[in-house]
Structure 1
Amino acid sequence: MRNSRLLVQGASVLALGVAASGCASIKDHRGYIIDEALVATVQPGVDNKLSVERTLGRPTFTSPYGKQTWYYVAQNTKQRPFNRPRTDNQAILVVDFDAKGNVASLNREGMTKVVRLSPESDKTPTLGRDRSFFQDLFGNIGAVGAIPGGAGQPTGGTGPNGS
């Protein structure tokens, strides 16, 4: 009797532990890993693109136009069960270069650059008729192979074949 009771209690504790672990958040790091010691060695007016790339590595992305800017982006995300990942923390290291390719400034950005989009629904509004699922599914029955304008009537088109 006592062994079966211990077995039931052990199984219930194990089941509770498995259920609780399924509710845990998943934490992940994405992007650049910022090393403060390396960032501190980059000096405006002293370093250039080559020395920055050798010190910090290749940037996450660069500015395609305008002033020459390199971005090093690091994100920590958190994902709850059955949800999409959300940005928990973000750090952006912005390295601006002058026209000669020397470092002009080093700045940091944070969560202020994170944009959370909240679309209204799962549908994209479009112009035209609003048809139901069944109208879309069965709407072309009988229309396949039909002659535009009716049988034996000219179509009135402007193409080379009158269509």
Structure 2
Amino acid sequence: MRLTKLPKSLLFCAILALPGCAVFSDSPHYRGIAVTASELKQLTPGVSQQADVQSLLGPPTFVEQFNPNNWVYVAQVTRMRIARTEGVSSQDVVVVSFNSNGTYKSYTENTLANALPVKMDGKETPVPGGTAGFFQQLIGGVGSYNPLGVTGNNSALGGTSGNIGSGGSGSGF
């Protein structure tokens, strides 16, 4: 008799735990402008102009700062990972190049597979005044709350131009 109750209880626990699995899976987030190969085939080198490219592909994600003749289209698919950090699942970068007259010259494609890894420096940026301890962080913002976002002279609101505790006469506290 115990054997027949055990599978039912396991099934019941599995059904209860199933909705919790949605916490670990997240739908992908699509960002940027995805440029397809068929769209790139419609561009003719030496004939197509910047206006043609923009009407076909849309505005670029960004224009290169040091070479404004290169338009960059970036498309990413990201997913949430552990601890609610976002990770890039796939990335496509298309660089459309123009000559100095604004005529389409060529394009290059890059993916996440041929991206260069950039290692971030693990050091902290030095902050003047040293580091704040636990209690400084805990009570450091006391007195700086400003619910109305008003700075400077707030005499129209019945206050003074100073901060709370500045010794002003009309603080209303």
- Distance in 2, matches of 1:92 and 1:50, equals 20
RMSD, aligned CA: 3.2
d(CA) in 2 for partners of 1:80 and 1:97?
A: 39
Amino acid at match of 2:31: R
* Residue identity matched to 2:107: L
User: Who is 2:108 aligned against?
Assistant: 107
Partner of residue 97, structure 2: 96
Could you report, residue by residue, the CA deviation over 1:124-156 in whole angstroms, capped at 9, with x for unpaired residues? Answer: 322443453446758xxxxx98xxxxxxxxxxx
Larger Rg: 1
Structure 2 match to 1:31: 32
Partner of 1:16 in structure 2? 17
CA 1:23–1:134: 2 relative to 1, 3 Å: closer
Q: Distance in 1 between matches of 2:11 and 2:130?
A: 61
**Which ranges of structure 1 fall in alignment gaps of 5 or more residues?**
139-143, 146-163
Seen in structure 2, the aligned counterparts of structure 1 residues 27 and 91 have a Cα distance that, compared at 3 Å, is same
What amino acid is the match of 1:60? Answer: T
- Once residues 132 and 86 of structure 1 are traced to their aligned partners in structure 2, the CA distance between those partners, rounded to angstroms, is 32
Aligned equivalents of 2:121, 2:104: Cα separation in 1: 40
CA displacement, residues 61-91 of structure 1 (integer Å, 9 cap, x when unaligned)? 1123434111111111122243311112111
Corresponding residue of 2:61: 60
Classify 1:22/1:134 alpha carbon distance in 2 versus 1 (closer, same or farther; 3 Å): closer
TM-score if structure 2 supplies the norm length?
A: 0.63
Gaps of at least 5 residues in structure 2 are 141-164, 167-173
- In 2, the alpha carbon distance for the partners of 1:20 and 1:44 equals 50
The secondary structure found in structure 2 opposite 1:106 is strand
Amino acid across the alignment from 1:29: Y
Structure 1 match to 2:49: 48
Aligned to 1:132: 133
AA at the equivalent of 1:15: L
Match of 1:82, SS?
Answer: helix
Distance, in Å, in 1 between the alignment partners of 2:78 and 2:32 is 11
Q: Aligned residues: percent identity?
A: 23
Partners of 1:132 and 1:22 lie apart in 2 by 35
Task: Tell me: higher relative CO, structure 1 or 2? Use CA pairs within 8 A at least 6 residues apart.
Answer: 1
Distance in 2, Cα, partners of 1:78 & 1:45: 39
Residue equivalent to 1:71: 72
How many residue pairs are counted as aligned between the two chains? 138
